[in-house]
A and B are shown apart, each in its own frame.
Chain A
Amino acid sequence: MLELENVNVYYGAIHALKNLSLKIEEGEIVTLIGANGAGKSTTLKAISGLVRPESGKIKLYGKEIQSLNPPEIVKLGISHVPEGRRIFAKMSVMENLEMGAYTRTDKSEVKKDFEMVFSLFPRLLERKEQLAGTLSGGEQQMLAIGRGLMARPKFLLLDEPSMGLAPIIVKEIFSIIKDINETGTTILLVEQNANLALKTADRAYIIRNGEIEMEGHAKELLNDDRVKKAYLEG
């Protein structure tokens, strides 16, 4: 279980997360939706240790992790697939995946995970020696997710995996996200595509100006009038 309790994050004078609390149970897909600048990415960065909360607690199975640095967090089983993919453009697909397994020492298990990633994303297998920067946008997103999986995480944090992709690719990627979840990986999915995110997730939080505005079962939020008005129309 991953929990945020009254987390506050500042960037200089900007108060990006305000007493933010949320909870992710094992096995769930939880989505965090909100407008540009609402604080979605900041929430993920706080969890993965890229930004340090001013106050509040982040707990993994009850243990506080808010003061750990990113490598320590990865080792605890939380993998963050950042917004904009951030693959290593001048390294090959294979090297990118190797980087995903950077903290691992169980070589034979890592080998199995290469195969697991390639079976999820057969296109990556065909392009294994290619420089990652030459992949298409959709393939780069697949690589970013595959790279995140190579850490063999218990919790996978995905930041806007649909960003800038054609609807058909988005559909493919979201169905794979479901598959990943079904094999036992808990997922926190940040999205601007609220419709798709709510259809994919079990539960959802809506964030606005750094605060949680609403929370509930994804299906219920999908039919909520306020949510429809603010996030699903237009």
Chain B
Amino acid sequence: MEQIIQQLINGISLGSIYALIALGYTMVYGIINLINFAHGDIYMVGAYVGYALTTFFGLGFLPSLLLAMLTCSILGIIIEKVAYKPIRNSTRISALITAISVSLFLQYTMMYFVSPQTRTFPNVLKGSRITFLNGNVMLDTKNIYILAITVLLMVGLQYIVHKTKIGKSMRAASLDREAAQLMGVDVDKTISFTFAIGSALAGAAGVLVGVYYNTINPLMGTVPGLKAFVAAVLGGIGIIPGAMFGGFFLGMVETMVSAYGGSIIKDAVAFGILILVLLVKPNGLLGKTIKEKV
């Protein structure tokens, strides 16, 4: 019992990270049908920006988090303008190749400047540990911070997407780009904005990971990027609540599997679930196929 609760706590933290990254995948896919494989690397850049700000500039956790988010959103806008916009009307395979190239470009540019070595993230978020259930369950206050920040960002995202004009234009453009244009939506601007928001969330995840797991390196984006992609597909790619659900679900499954089945097979299980879901419910667990009325 205690073991399960402990794993649940760990799972929620890991799930928060996946969910934050998965949101960017799903939003970008929703609007331009592109799997942005560089998204995991934006998360990595976020972690490094957080590292630099806390280590060299002595900034605290919150300002570093916000600045990392800002930097990543600018990076996201630039990537879209430079790499994806010119090929917006090309085939999917060229888009995919471009995305992979951008990913490699970010990884190795980063490696050139900061060296491939793993760095230790400073302990900016002083956590205290709370033990309960006879000392068998340990809750680090960092777990609480991560969850609180994730929830806050998600609530903010929902607010933007559902209540603001730019958010509505994002939804409209992802439902029907041409119709959105006929309403007067500037689709280029809307796509830029979508990249900005998605990348900011990835940047936040990067800083949170640095704070939580303490180590960062230039290739740290690859695996979580893939996992978050799995999470987005699990929840139904293009569906925002789906990405949130998929992220937490995957985080939870992964920690449970590591605890009870051995951490060696946890990735196999994650991708196994992906395959299973794609076979049974190709639109994702939260995806519905609504019939078009003709």
Contacts and interface: CB of A to CB of B under 8 A. Distances in A.
B293 A102 contact: no
A99 B293 contact: no
B293 A75 contact: no
Given A82-B178, A82-B179, A136-B293, A88 B184 contact: no
A174 to B, nearest CB: 20
Contacts of B185: 71, 99, 102
B172 A91 contact: yes
A154 interface: no
Contacts of A80: 182
B290 A89 contact: yes
Contact of A147 (B175, B181, B183): B183
A104 to B, nearest CB: 9
A140 interface: yes
Interface string A161-188: 0001000000000000000000000000
Interface in A62-105: 69-71, 74-75, 79-80, 82, 86-91, 95, 98-100, 102-103
Interface residues of B, number: 20
Which applies to chain B's interface (DSSP): helix, strand, loop or mixed?
helix
Contacts of A43: none
A151 interface: yes
A50 interface: yes
Interface in B147-186: 165, 168-169, 171-172, 175-176, 178-186
B280 interface: no
B175 A89 contact: yes
Contact of B184 (A50, A75, A137): A75
Contacts of A42: none
A56 interface: no
Contact of A140 (B171, B176, B186, B293): B293
B181 A88 contact: no
Given A88-B171, A136-B293, A137-B294, A71 B181 contact: yes
B182 A90 contact: no
Nearest to A88: B175
Given A89-B292, A99-B180, 4 more contacts: A49-B181, A50-B178, A99-B168, A102-B183
14 contacts: A75-B184, A79-B182, A80-B182, A86-B178, A86-B179, A89-B290, A90-B290, A91-B171, A99-B183, A102-B183, A102-B184, A135-B293, A137-B293, A164-B294
